[in-house]
Amino acid sequence: MDIQSLTVTELKQGYQYLSQEAVFVCNYCQQSFEAGRVYQFAEEMFLGKQAVEWHITEEHGGNFRQLLSDESKYNTLTDKQKQLLTAFQSGKKDAQIAEEMNVSHSTIRHQKFSFREKAKQAKLYLAQYENAFLGHLQEEIIPIHNGATMVDERYFMTIEEREQIIKENFESLHPLKLKRLPKKEKKKIAILSRIIKEFVTGRTYTEEEIKEILVGIYNDHVTVRRYLIDYGYMNRTPDGKAYWVND
């Protein structure tokens, strides 16, 4: 999940709505659902928004569970805090939670108070941050991914630059179809940063699975696969039998 590119609302709901393509996209696996299309799951009919919500619940165990188990450096909750939030989210009464966790009722009330205070702090900080950078957010430099190799000026680009490169070089984003693979290094990095979103972090892929995904994106899938490795977006075992996304 790319926290950098998602709004608070998109994080809370577990999906994005891409207005230009009129699709809802799952934050966790990038599966898309057309806004006006009817989908059938378990003998029930759903429109696009309902379909992506059903998908997140059934396929990913719900958005709350995914947010709580996020393994990025931004998730600073302790195991005890996760346990408490899970209990609060379940709707259990404070007395029941206290009994199950073998603590006093007052301890649970205090924990609730602490969570509310942290939420207020985060809300105020977000307002301060957005006011400070209002009108300049599009000029933000995109963070360099953790697996980046040979970091230099080619990695430094703004959100606006990346979006323009993607717009110029892809035929469509859903499904992802690349028109050309640019020669300029900065453009390659922008292209690869979009392609890597088609893979799920934490999952291990076989070479055949990598091929199947990349063939649908670009005819020269071997070159794209090599670039994903060379530029540090993806890693693999020495024998090339297992591939995974670099966190």
The pLDDT assigned to 134 comes to 61
The pLDDT of residue 229 is 92
Q: What's the pLDDT at 141?
A: 65
Would strands 234-236 and 176-178 be described as parallel, antiparallel, or unpaired?
unpaired
Grouping H, G, I as helix, E, B as strand and the rest as coil, residue 5 is helix
H runs (alpha helix) in 102-216: 105-133, 159-169, 185-195, 207-215
Which pLDDT score, from 0 to 100, does residue 140 have? 65
Structure tokens at 177: 């179809």
What was the pLDDT predicted at 135?
Answer: 57
pLDDT in tens, the chain (247 residues): 767 667 788 899 999 888 777 889 998 998 899 888 888 887 788 888 899 999 999 999 999 999 999 888 888 999 999 999 999 999 999 999 999 999 999 999 999 999 999 999 998 988 887 777 665 554 566 777 767 766 667 777 888 888 899 999 999 998 999 999 988 888 999 999 999 999 998 899 999 999 999 999 999 999 999 999 988 899 999 888 899 998 7
Q: Which pLDDT belongs to residue 196?
A: 94
Query: In Å, what is the CA distance from 21 to each residue of 32, 35, 168, 211, 218?
Result: 10, 9, 16, 26, 20
Tell me which amino acid residue 151 is.
Answer: V
